[in-house]
Structure 1
Amino acid sequence: MTRDYSQFLPTSGTSEAKTPKRAPLDILGWQSFFAQQTDLDILDATPPVRVVEVHRNGLRVRGDGIDALVPPGPDATVGDWLLYDAELPMRSAVLERKSLFKRRAAGHDRSLQMIAANVDTAFVVTSCNDDFNVARLERYLALAFEAEVTPVILLTKADLCEDTAAYVTDAQSISDRVPVVLLNAKSEEPAAKLAVWCTPGQTIAFLGTSGVGKSTLVNALFGTEQAETGAIREDDSRGRHTTTSRQLHFTENGLGILDTPGMRELQLAEAGSGLADLFADVVELETQCKFRDCAHESEPGCAVRAAIEAGTLGADRFERWRKLEAEERHNTASLAEKRAYDKNFGKMIKTVTKAHKGRKGRR
């Protein structure tokens, strides 16, 4: 069946609000940013599809009349847009991304792991109990800033906490660029309090550890049991994994909602810009130090130490920044070394293969 993709290309005509029913691609989050990367001929030959799930045996994609599994091949993650090649699905092209969440892969593997692509707003979820941890929140926020995604801190389980003021204050102290929303995920509050970020055509993601209410929030926005939920353990206020893979769901009006498993390990890599945005106050103080290579220990004219002594910069905040900076530099350098090694190893293999073919040809 031949589809008319002209309506999905950039136009200067009528607005989407005049369309009574949203088109399938609009519901999936298709925007002019992606349309500008292609044309009608390409769309007819390879229609756009969006990755909604990632499995070991491939990518589940959805499009206009398309629901398929793409075998391993495209270097893509959940939220990506592909130009679907029905004859050779593994050769489907990945469109340029608006945003990309990534981290250093867990364990000893020196590689980057893509978490999600083309997200507009990241809801970093934590709860008003022992799960709350400023250092962990800073890691998530640094990833969001690096990906150029709007971050929002959500404080859940407010109904189970006698005094939420301290949690709100601590969350607000992390960055004046990050809104903090206190809510009861099991009530009608999520739909009302998160409405400004949950408009048609947007893609939102819930990030956080297990048991903080991410799946409950997904269900609250849908108004149905879309995602499985579970209770937290009473001994440590932590939850078990109810979401086992990253899944992108869509509401009828075209809001993309990404539910993610709790990430036990969140190592930063290639996130220098995100850290600089999150700790803009510390970075600004660094520029005021007398010496460019100031280690912020006992050097004369250190603006950072002066701010700590004056009480305008918290010592704990500075130490967390220093720890994350060191981790990010180490992981980024480690990834660069692996890429250089892989590149040199590949060249060596090509050289050996070429020499071997040459010897066979002379026989």
Structure 2
Amino acid sequence: MIAFDFAQLRLIGLQQAIAGAATQLDISSPAAQLLRVSAVHRDSILVHDGTQEHPAQVLPRLLYALLAQDTIVTVGDWVVAEHDGHDTLWITAHLSPVTQISRRGNDGRRQVLASNVDTALLVMGLDGDFNPRRLERYLAIVLAAQVSPVVVLSKADVADDVPGKLAQLKQRLPPHVPLLAIDTRHAYDVAILEPWLGTGQTLVLLGSSGAGKSSLTNTLSATQQATNGVRHGDGRGRHTTTARSLHLCASGACIIDTPGLRSWQADADAQTLAATFNDIAALASTCQFRDCQHASEPGCQVRGAVDADRLRNYHKLLRDARRGEETPLERIAARAKWKTILKAGQERSRQKRQE
């Protein structure tokens, strides 16, 4: 069993589920410490003991074991570490996360973004960053990870047609998802987030570059992250945050800032993602055909009742998820099938031209 100060670690997000798991670890060393990963850089890791940060390294055998499970040590993880005779702090054990937000890269590999998160603040600017389709994808992935979402809309002071954009989002997003328009630079505006900032709570900021994530981190915590403007040509943000990092808030919560993300591929199966579009799922249950694809089938109750662009986004997410579930052999077979179909179409076109 490992001994730890719950009250001290509560300040960096320790909750009963993790504390209970820690007490079950078979660890006899009196020097072992329960710590939280606060930053992961390319060649270094920082861990937090509730008072200050310390540099640490992952024990090679633990690193190999995590890689075999298709995961790595990431920000928000709880770990056990101890010093060796040369004063190097080694991470020797990793506690399975309660929640974990991740995505799939274009090569299919899994990228973990944050662990043990209670609330995801989905930050989107009301200026050139405004993109309901991208926000829906963020929302679906967060819900699939069983993390509570809160949509934070920034830059209302410089955006055009703010009421129209708010109305558009209210029409498209599920009614249970909070939708807040704030100035991320001012504490009196950010105070509206207080219900999600209780002691022991962990939040993660997700959004594209330039959306205002680092400004929000600065307002909520004592940390002063660098901030940057958007490009004048297209309104897109410049990358300011280059690594995920955990910061303490005065309220007792902690917040994980992340680099900007524009495109995500879901790290969830099609069934899980479909469940996050609960309005479509509810209507689909009343369609005439059980396997209705909501395209051109008669008796479809979804078409016309759901925003057409939202429905297209829903189908795209499902296609991405199904592709991610395919084995290499299935992908090869699918490519061969479409090559055959393409060649047949080309041959028919050639024959028609010759007639």
TM-score range, shorter chain: 0.7 to 0.9
1:314 to 304, 307, 311: 307
What number of residue pairs does the alignment pair up? Answer: 313
Shift of 1:248: 0.7
Distance in 2 of aligned mates of 1:254 and 1:323:
39
Task: Answer yes or no: is the 8 Å Cα contact 1:146–1:274 preserved in 2.
Answer: yes
Distance 1:230 1:46, change over 3 A: same
RMSD: 2.6
Partner of 1:86: 83
SS at match of 2:322: helix
Distance in 2 of aligned mates of 1:96 and 1:273:
24
Distance 1:336 1:166, change over 3 A: farther
Letter in 1 for 2:78: W
Shift of 1:205: 1.0
SS at match of 1:240: coil
**Normalising by structure 2, what TM-score?**
0.80
2:229 counterpart of 1:245: no
Write out per-residue CA displacement over residues 200-229 of structure 1, whole angstroms, 9 at most, x where no aligned residue. 11111111000111100111112x552110
Shift of 1:275: 2.5
**48-57 vs 285-294, which moves further:** 285-294
Partner of 1:147: 145
Letter in 2 for 1:29: G
Partner of 2:13: 29
Letter in 1 for 2:35: V
Within 5 Å, give how 1:9-88 maps onto structure 2: 23-39=7-23, 42=27, 44=30, 46-63=32-49, 67-71=54-58, 73=63, 74=66, 75-87=72-84
Distance in 2 of aligned mates of 1:64 and 1:198:
17
Partner of 2:294: 296
Distance in 1 of aligned mates of 2:34 and 2:328:
32
Q: How much identity, in percent, do the aligned residues show?
A: 38
2:326 counterpart of 1:326: no
Structure 2 gap segments, 5+ residues each: 67-71, 332-355
Letter in 2 for 1:113: Q
Shift of 1:261: 0.5
Task: Answer yes or no: is the 8 Å Cα contact 1:143–1:271 preserved in 2.
Answer: no
Distance in 1 of aligned mates of 2:113 and 2:329:
20
Shift of 1:335: 8.2
Within 5 Å, give how 1:1-363 maps onto structure 2: 5=4, 7-8=5-6, 23-39=7-23, 42=27, 44=30, 46-63=32-49, 67-71=54-58, 73=63, 74=66, 75-87=72-84, 92-105=92-105, 107=106, 109-173=107-171, 174-222=173-221, 224=222, 226-272=224-270, 275-305=273-303, 308=304, 312-334=305-327
Task: Answer yes or no: is the 8 Å Cα contact 2:80–2:91 preserved in 1.
Answer: no
Task: Answer yes or no: is the 8 Å Cα contact 1:153–1:171 preserved in 2.
Answer: no
Shift of 1:161: 2.6
Shift of 1:162: 4.8
Distance in 1 of aligned mates of 2:128 and 2:272:
26
Distance in 1 of aligned mates of 2:169 and 2:183:
17
Distance in 1 of aligned mates of 2:267 and 2:285:
23
**113-122 vs 23-32, which moves further:** 23-32
Deviating 4+ runs (over 3 angstroms): 40-45, 85-91, 271-274, 334-338
**Normalising by structure 1, what TM-score?**
0.79
Task: Answer yes or no: is the 8 Å Cα contact 1:27–1:253 preserved in 2.
Answer: no
Distance in 1 of aligned mates of 2:78 and 2:329:
27
Task: Answer yes or no: is the 8 Å Cα contact 1:142–1:271 preserved in 2.
Answer: no
Letter in 1 for 2:268: E
